[in-house]
């Protein structure tokens, strides 16, 4: 989003996938997750980090096919930061059980001349569908064309958890002459 704001000629469409730090209030578990991200655990805890990864990583399809487990571990160990590590610096604890986002995404929105599409996940424990709906409405209020889809049966990583649904959403969004209908016309699109 920030890149699209700063370099509008370089971006023709924008897709946000389960964007975090939308609103100021966070649940305690979300605050802890974004403070101790999988990348932080993988990089800093060595063998213990790997053992925790082994315990937590799902044991069923689609996670077990096509070396997804090995790829996930390698990506978590990379020195370059992912979105989760970037979000970590935006979160602080007002008290031991009250995490907040220092600069919520929803408070810094500006009109974009390009369409924005957001992908949410119905079972996301980190970014609620309600937060995504609020973000979409706020973008529409700035004059930005914004739409969203909700994947079914997915948590925070629909591109890994429901790859066929995710590919369909991406394909429809980037291959259509006009993006999905706007939130103000149709509400949410389930796929």
pLDDT digits (tens, 9 = 90+) for 33-59: 888 777 777 777 888 888 887 887 778
Which residues have C-beta within 8 Å of that of residue 50, sequence separation ≥ 6? Answer: 42, 73
The pTM score is: 0.77
Rg of the chain over all Cα atoms, to the nearest angstrom:
17
**60-98 pLDDT per residue, tens:** 776 676 677 787 777 777 766 566 667 778 899 999 999
**Residue 182 clears pLDDT 60, i.e. is over it:** no
- Phi, psi (degrees; rounded to nearest 5) at 125: -90, -5
Residues 42, 24: Cα–Cα separation, whole Å = 27
Q: What is the mean pLDDT of the chain?
A: 83
Find tokens 């079972």 and name the residue. 123
CA distance linking residue 42 with residue 53, whole number of Å:
8
Which SS3 state, helix, strand or coil, does residue 121 take?
Answer: strand
Nearest to 151 by CA among 164, 135, 136, 140: 164
Region 13-28: what's the mean pLDDT? 91
pLDDT at 188: 53
Burial (0-12, 13-18, 19+ Cβ within 10 Å), 77: middle
- Greater confidence (102 vs 186) lies with 102
pLDDT band at residue 146, thresholds of 50, 70 and 90? very high
Angle CA(45)–CA(52)–CA(38) in degrees, nearest 5? 65
Please report the pLDDT score of residue 80 as a whole number: 63
């Amino acid at each position: 989003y920030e890149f699209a704001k700063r370099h509008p000629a370089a971006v023709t469409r924008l897709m946000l996938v389960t964007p975090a730090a939308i609103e100021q209030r966070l649940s305690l578990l979300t605050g802890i997750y974004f403070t101790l991200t999988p990348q932080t655990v993988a990089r800093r805890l060595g063998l213990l980090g790997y053992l925790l990864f082994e315990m937590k990583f799902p044991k069923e399809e689609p996670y077990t096919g096509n070396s997804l487990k090995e790829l996930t571990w390698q990506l978590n160990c990379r020195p370059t930061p992912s979105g989760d590590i970037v979000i970590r610096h935006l979160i602080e604890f007002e008290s031991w059980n009250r995490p907040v986002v220092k600069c919520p995404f929803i408070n810094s929105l500006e009109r974009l001349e390009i369409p924005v599409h957001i992908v949410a996940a119905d079972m996301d424990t980190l970014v609620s569908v309600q937060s995504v709906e609020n973000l979409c409405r706020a973008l529409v209020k700035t004059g930005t064309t914004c739409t969203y889809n909700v994947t079914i049966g997915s948590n925070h990583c629909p591109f890994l958890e429901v790859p066929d649904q995710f590919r369909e959403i991406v394909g429809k969004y980037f291959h259509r002459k006009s993006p999905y209908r706007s939130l103000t016309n149709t509400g949410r699109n389930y796929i």
